[in-house]
Structure 1
Amino acid sequence: MNADFYSESFTVKAYECDAEARMTPGAILRRAQQISTDQCDLLGLTNEVYARTHTAFLLAKLAVEFYAPVRAGQCVTLATRPSAPQRAVYGRYTTLCAQDGTVLSAVDSRWILVDTRTKRILRRPPEDMPMPFVQPPVCELDVSLVKGEAQPVAEETAFYTRCDQNRHMNNTYYADIVCDHVPLERIAAHAHARLAVVYHSEVPMGASFTLLRAQTGENGWYFVGTDGEKKHFEANLTLTE
């Protein structure tokens, strides 16, 4: 099994797409998350290993660039390339390509390994935990944020259907929330160009937070989710001109 590269092909399902038959950012992130899990399972980084070593990978930040819409019924190939940790951050670069090799979208995700008992970041994995990722990053996207004076737009909740086995809101659903709070006439008429998300703290199942939004350009927005003084995440979404 190649630890440096792994790919899977699939046909985009209608339920992964929006009203314009375009694959949503959240659906792309769910596919990217799944291929990461599939590769780790094949390499021996299974749930049993995480449970035994009291560890977990948590997503710290990501950026997605959208080069062309991905359509329902389209046959595509997802390829992922994990890299060795840099100052305790494990990078993973994932591309979504058309059958002719054209890159339709790219995801740069940055992960940290934590001790689930102490919540401390681990700069080295436990001795009995295999860690096969040794290659330098093949590509990195801009994960920085453009911020603005955000105002409240909604109250959001980590409902049952938004949560995963860790019993907190799955990181891909923040992309859905962001897209749902861009003005409808904008997101229906313009394709996605870029999404960046920084994750600060988990939202436990059943908990709520306030979503704030600021416009950063004609087709750009900044979002932040807070619970009082506690910040859960920040994000930028940019649409095409």
Structure 2
Amino acid sequence: MRPLRHPWVQASLAWLFSGWLRLCLSTTRWQRDNQAPVDALWQEGGGVIICFWHSRISLSPACWDLRRAQEVRGMVSLSPDGEFIAQAVDRLGFPAIRGSSSKKSAPDKAKGGAEAFRQGLRWLRAGGALAITPDGPRGPVETMAEGAVMLARASGAPVLLVGLASAPALTVDTWDRGKVPLPFGRGAIVWADPIRATRNADTATLRAEWAARLSEVTRQAEARL
């Protein structure tokens, strides 16, 4: 076992990382664009899917007001690295549903993805919010896998695409060039208008359209800074 994947080490790192994010996100001056439709969905209640690119995981807790919004769960992969992320976001109020539908090369991965899909669908139908990184856990970068679209089609829940950016921020040397905020910076949250997918909508078409729109609002968030 690699030292960084030892359960005790991962738990310690998750504690440190969540504390760092809490400091950074709480001291960032956030600018929010197109927040009104999101406020309306918070007031209305019911299941909702939130999508942001994998590189923005560290910024994502800032977009969801736990005091007013639906209770949220995050879809996190079954990979060893996913365990660290799951523990960190849980400490920030975003418990995880473990699994991913974007990597099905092994039977246990496929089984985990199917179970995560079922759990996510039940959560949405119960009125919860589900946060998804549609290009995770291993990319390609800003390429949307089918999971979010299939959940939207099956549940009928509205989909919120959100672009996130902060400055200054560290860029991590990972496949997605992940962004980690620094304290006392500036941040931007840009929402696309809510989307609903019909059951007979073409999955490939929606994946392409949603990916383009999610990248667009992400670039808009970056431009705000």
TM tier relative to shorter chain: under 0.3
Q: TM-score, normalized by length of structure 1?
A: 0.25
Q: TM-score, length-normalised on structure 2?
A: 0.26
Point out the structure with the larger strand share: 1
The structure with the larger Rg is 1
Higher relative contact order (CA 8 A, sep 6+): 2
Normalized per residue, which structure has more helix? 2
